[in-house]
């Protein structure tokens, strides 16, 4: 049976929910999900209904006829006034007749003749800029007025129209979007709000975390973009680690003119990164022979489409990218939190996955600790052993081991958390709010961390015999070495910004 969604806009009066539900039932619809929270928005209800298409059209039509269907997310105009009314019977009623005729909704009203004789303070919302101007002209001819606030952008709306105001805030992040696209996005967001509030989370924190995720990404592009970089000399060239503003490390390995790139960062940073690497003489993305993708999260594969190189990845990673669902292939594949978070972060970060893909083998008999060796990748004169993860962080995550240079790329499983800057830690915490955990299988992730540490310690013993160290290259944070079982940042980190 097809699933349909609609957003109901209903008066805050007894029996309205019953009336809407009755319409669905009469047209043979089965309500699969409904969410209404008066604390968030007293007028907005989200429905998901299973029914034939003809039934949905009938439901939609009847809801539209009685004014219960939210059909537009165009900004409402907002007007706040002091209105001075004559001190006689019927003055307030006369004013209200004018606002009702103009189809204005009253959001706030304050009148106390003892405190402020004859002064009414009122806030009004109307659809359309012309409508508010017509109402204002009409009132000016009838009353003495003081205009306290006048706004046609939707920014001054209060929580009586919360979802409409939230839609305008989303538009500020993603740019102008069709109403139907925003309706789908709001339905997705409402679904995770419902799931998280059922887990005891504060709905205000959920909405704020969504906006902060998008705003922080946008605020760290262009002239505000920067990288924290480490450079290490290798026997054949160098290793450059670029920590991007909102996390997701990018690595360049090899000699000048021949580079391997491990992970790509968010798509929103693609051109800023290209320019700053070249400007700082840290590398040239035009010299990348191959991309090695550890996993399918947007901060690791999201700008692959901007790079004209083949990308090596696990088949599961390709499926995560294609499905746009980081829970794909895991035991929580049906998690709405993971699915909607993936869609949100992909949207906010200008997600562009790699276009030219080389898939690693699914299996392999050789083992490296608890991990299957599923391929060897040669590029830029180097050899990388691909190790299949246990799907703890996300399905298809792969680790890359370059034994000759003592490099271990650990994706998001083994990270030096103590090296995170406060800004990166705050951004990382937003994902935890919206998904509750960043790992699809925490027990498997713990086994993987232990296995990677053991590999790093064994390789480090060999590298020390050559006067070198095994460099642990995590998906976030500083390049590190293992000392006494703990990760310690290794080498100097330098911040590079765009030159004035």
Residue 173 belongs to domain spanning: 162-219
Side-chain half-sphere exposure of 276, counting CA atoms within 13 A = 25
- 246 and 113 belong to one structural domain: no
Phi/psi of residue 371, nearest 5 degrees: -110, 140
- 133 and 37 belong to one structural domain: no
- Output the pTM of the full model: 0.86
- 104 and 192 belong to one structural domain: no
Q: How many domains does the chain have?
A: 4
- 240 and 113 belong to one structural domain: no
- 137 and 253 belong to one structural domain: no
- 491 closest CA partner among 241, 227, 226, 249: 241
- 360 and 437 belong to one structural domain: yes
Dist. CA 459–CA 470, nearest whole Å: 6
- Per-residue pLDDT in tens (0 to 9) along the chain, 500 residues: 899 999 998 887 889 999 999 999 999 999 999 999 988 988 899 999 999 999 999 999 999 999 899 888 776 788 888 999 988 888 889 999 999 888 888 888 998 877 788 899 998 888 766 788 888 889 988 898 898 888 876 665 555 568 878 888 898 999 888 888 999 999 999 999 999 999 999 999 999 999 999 999 999 999 999 999 999 999 989 999 999 999 799 999 998 789 999 999 999 999 999 999 999 999 999 999 999 999 999 999 999 999 999 999 999 999 999 999 999 999 999 999 999 999 999 999 999 999 999 999 877 779 999 999 999 999 999 999 999 999 999 999 999 999 999 999 999 999 999 999 999 999 999 999 999 999 999 999 999 999 999 999 999 999 999 999 999 999 999 999 999 999 999 999 999 998 75
| Number of DSSP helices (H) and strands (E) in the chain, helices first | 13, 23
- 288 and 421 belong to one structural domain: yes
Instruction: Check if the beta carbon of residue 51 is closer than 8 Å to that of residue 30.
Output: yes
CATH number of residue 56's parent domain = 3.30.70.260
Last residue in a domain, options 219, 234, 255: 219
One DSSP character per residue, 185-225 reads HHHHHHHHHHHHHHTT--HHHHHHHHHHHHHHHHHTSGGG-
- 394 and 354 belong to one structural domain: yes
- 444 and 325 belong to one structural domain: yes
- 295 and 329 belong to one structural domain: yes
- 202 and 227 belong to one structural domain: no
Dist. CA 161–CA 105, nearest whole Å: 10
Dist. CA 372–CA 365, nearest whole Å: 7
């Amino acid at each position: 049976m097809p699933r349909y969604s609609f957003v109901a806009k209903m008066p805050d009066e007894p029996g309205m929910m019953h009336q809407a539900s009755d319409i669905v039932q009469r047209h043979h619809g089965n309500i699969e999900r409904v969410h209404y929270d008066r604390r968030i928005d007293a007028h907005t209800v989200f429905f998901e209904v299973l029914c034939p298409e003809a039934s949905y059209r009938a439901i939609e039509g009847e809801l539209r006829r009685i004014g219960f269907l939210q059909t537009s997310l165009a900004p409402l105009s907002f007007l706040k006034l002091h209105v001075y009314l004559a001190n006689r019977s019927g003055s307030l009623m006369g004013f209200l007749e004018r606002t009702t005729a103009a189809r204005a909704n009253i959001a706030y009203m304050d009148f106390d003749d003892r405190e402020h004789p004859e002064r009414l303070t009122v806030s009004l919302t109307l659809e359309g800029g012309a409508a508010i101007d017509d109402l204002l002209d009409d009132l000016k001819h009838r009353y003495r007025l003081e205009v306290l606030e006048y706004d046609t952008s939707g920014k001054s709306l209060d929580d009586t129209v919360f979802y409409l105001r939230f839609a305008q805030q989303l538009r500020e992040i993603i740019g102008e979007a069709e109403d139907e696209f925003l309706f789908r996005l709001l339905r997705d967001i409402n679904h995770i709000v419902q799931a998280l509030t059922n887990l005891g989370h504060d709905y205000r924190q959920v909405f704020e975390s969504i906006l902060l995720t998008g705003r922080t990404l946008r605020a760290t592009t262009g002239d505000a973009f920067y990288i924290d970089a480490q450079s290490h000399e290798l026997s054949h060239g160098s290793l450059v680690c670029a920590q991007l503003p909102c996390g997701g490390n990018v690595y360049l390995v090899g000699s000048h003119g021949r580079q391997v790139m491990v992970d790509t960062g968010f798509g929103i940073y693609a051109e800023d990164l290209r320019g700053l690497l070249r400007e700082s003489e840290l590398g040239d993305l035009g010299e990348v022979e191959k991309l090695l993708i550890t996993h399918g999260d947007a901060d690791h594969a999201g700008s692959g489409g901007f790079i004209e190189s083949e990308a090596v990845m696990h088949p599961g990673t390709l499926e995560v990218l294609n499905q746009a669902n980081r829970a794909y292939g895991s035991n929580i594949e049906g998690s709405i939190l993971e699915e909607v978070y993936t869609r949100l972060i992909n949207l906010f970060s200008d997600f562009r996955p790699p276009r030219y893909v080389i898939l690693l083998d699914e299996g392999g008999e050789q083992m490296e600790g608890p991990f299957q060796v599923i391929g060897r990748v040669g590029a830029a004169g180097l050899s990388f052993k691909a190790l299949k993860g246990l799907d703890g962080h996300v399905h298809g995550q792969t680790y890359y081991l370059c034994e000759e240079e003592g490099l271990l790329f650990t994706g998001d499983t083994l990270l030096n958390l103590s090296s995170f800057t406060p800004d990166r830690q705050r951004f990382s915490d937003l994902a935890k709010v919206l998904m509750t955990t960043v790992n699809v299988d925490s027990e498997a992730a713990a086994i993987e961390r232990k296995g990677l540490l053991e590999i790093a310690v064994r390789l480090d013993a060999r590298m020390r015999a050559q006067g070198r160290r095994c460099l642990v290259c995590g998906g976030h944070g500083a390049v590190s070495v293992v000392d006494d079982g703990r990760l310690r940042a290794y080498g100097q980190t330098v911040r590079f910004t765009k030159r004035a």
